[in-house]
């Protein structure tokens, strides 16, 4: 028997604006875009390190003080925090912890991870920067 | 009982006549207890007998009547008309599936995926019936219970942009069902199912959008099943690396 269908089926393709159709999709895509900011931040950071390593300390400091670089760093920080917080929340959804008869909620994982992030961040600043 | 009028904007596609789908509006009188499926049945009975759609149980059990209602994948039998009061209600076929006619989509790809994950209990050796049933504790049941509530309505596939971009992706419901058997203490088919769910287009294609779990009408969390399957796979791979002689079993 022929497998050919008597009439054509209509196949739809996902358009480029699919992520605007739903607020969850938009939030997801913003999280995906954070990788762009992290990548550019890393490139700037590596370049700064190379300036320090080659002895061009003044150029490196000038780059650090550049308003454009500062603005970009603030933006990159906001995107990175957005990424971190949404992932912390997802950890709670993906790995709920059973405690007796109750199971942990995603917001609890978010809270615990934010506290841990703050502790580690302050420890790094204290040990590597302030000392 | 008083009746309001709802405007239902339905996708029409008659492959023998139409090159592509278009919308057709219908005015449907409704009461507070009527759902979108009732409106479609009213259209079919009183306004346009050519309208084609799937339905069966009318009570959220069979999973046949899924459609995009106002852009969101829903069971039409569980979407009340009064919730859309004052708005035109757009009813479209489930996204990402080829349309056969009007609201009817081709389910072949989903059906193949369901069969592919072998949705039955696999035993290395079957016990004779006189030895009785395979016993299971309440805790063992709880590990997979929610994943056995899937009604194969395909709403999760319609909500998943990853499936929309790559139809080879195993997808939410099939993975949730695979995980249901992987976690079943009576099942011994891990070695058979793991290679299927851990293919490139298996669980690793999922990028954690999470909309599959939002739209599920039965409270199943396919996103959780997919991530748990990833964790199991990664743990197994690590065990195989550390203990090559049977560590990854």
Contact B209 A25 (CB under 8 A): yes
The ipTM (two decimal places) reads 0.83
pLDDT in tens, B55-94: 999 999 999 999 999 999 999 999 999 999 889 999 999 9
- In chain B, residues with a C-beta closer than 8 Å to the C-beta of A26 are none
Q: Give DSSP secondary structure letters for B114-136.
A: HHHT--S---SSPPPGGG-----
Contact B106 A28 (CB under 8 A): no
Across-strand partners of B8? Answer: B26, B89
A129 lies within 8 A of chain B by CB: no
- 10 Å CB burial of residue A128 (0-12, 13-18, 19+) is exposed
Measured distance CA(B24)–CA(B107) in Å, rounded: 24
Measured distance CA(A44)–CA(A64) in Å, rounded: 10
Report CA-CA distances (Å) from A29 to A80, A81, B103, B210, B222.
13, 15, 29, 12, 20
Measured distance CA(B234)–CA(B179) in Å, rounded: 15
Predicted local distance difference test score (pLDDT) of residue B135: 93
Averaged pLDDT, groups of 10, chain A, 131 residues long = 74 91 93 95 94 93 94 96 93 84 90 95 91 79
| Residue whose pair of structure tokens reads 């959220």 in the numeric block | B60
Q: Which two tokens stand for residue A10?
A: 């209509």
Suggest the residue from A3, A4, A10, A21 to mutate for an interface test with chain B (most B CBs closer than 10 A): A10
A-to-B residue pairs, Cβ atoms closer than 8 angstroms = 55
Measured distance CA(B104)–CA(A70) in Å, rounded: 55
A91 lies within 8 A of chain B by CB: no
pLDDT in tens, B185-242: 999 999 999 999 998 889 999 999 999 999 999 999 999 999 999 999 999 889 988 8
């Amino acid at each position: 028997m022929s497998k050919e269908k008597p009439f054509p089926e209509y196949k739809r393709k996902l358009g480029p604006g699919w992520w605007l159709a739903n607020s969850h999709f938009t939030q997801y895509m913003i999280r995906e875009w954070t990788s762009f900011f992290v990548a550019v931040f890393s490139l700037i950071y590596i370049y700064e390190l190379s300036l320090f390593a080659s002895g061009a300390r003044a150029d490196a400091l000038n780059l650090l003080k550049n308003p454009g670089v500062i603005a970009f760093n603030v933006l990159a920080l906001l995107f990175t925090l957005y990424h971190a917080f949404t992932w912390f929340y997802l950890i709670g959804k993906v790995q709920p912890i059973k405690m007796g008869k109750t199971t942990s909620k995603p917001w609890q994982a978010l809270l615990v991870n934010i506290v841990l992030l703050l502790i580690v961040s302050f420890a790094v600043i204290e040990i590597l920067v302030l000392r | 009982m008083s009746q309001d009028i709802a405007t239902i904007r339905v996708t029409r596609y008659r492959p023998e006549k139409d090159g592509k789908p278009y919308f057709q509006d219908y005015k449907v009188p409704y009461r507070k207890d009527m759902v979108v499926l009732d409106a479609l049945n009213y259209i079919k009975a009183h306004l346009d007998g050519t309208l084609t759609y799937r339905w069966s149980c009318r009570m959220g059990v069979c999973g046949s009547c899924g459609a995009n209602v106002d852009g969101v994948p829903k069971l039409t039998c569980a979407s009340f008309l009064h919730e859309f009061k004052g708005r035109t209600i757009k009813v479209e076929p489930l996204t990402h599936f080829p349309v056969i006619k009007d609201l009817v989509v081709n389910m072949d790809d989903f059906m193949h995926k369901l069969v592919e994950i072998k949705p039955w209990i696999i035993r290395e050796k079957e016990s004779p019936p006189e030895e009785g049933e395979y016993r299971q504790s309440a805790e063992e049941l709880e590990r997979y219970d929610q994943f056995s509530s899937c009604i194969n309505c395909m709403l999760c596939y319609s909500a998943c942009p990853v499936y929309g971009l790559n139809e080879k992706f195993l997808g939410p419901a099939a993975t949730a069902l695979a995980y249901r058997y992987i976690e079943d203490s009576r099942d011994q088919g891990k070695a058979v199912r793991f290679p299927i769910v851990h293919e490139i287009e298996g669980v690793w294609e999922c990028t954690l959008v999470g909309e599959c779990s939002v739209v599920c009408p039965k409270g199943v969390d396919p996103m959780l099943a997919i991530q748990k399957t990833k964790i199991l796979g990664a743990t197994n791979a690590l065990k195989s690396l550390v203990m090559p002689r049977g560590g990854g079993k």
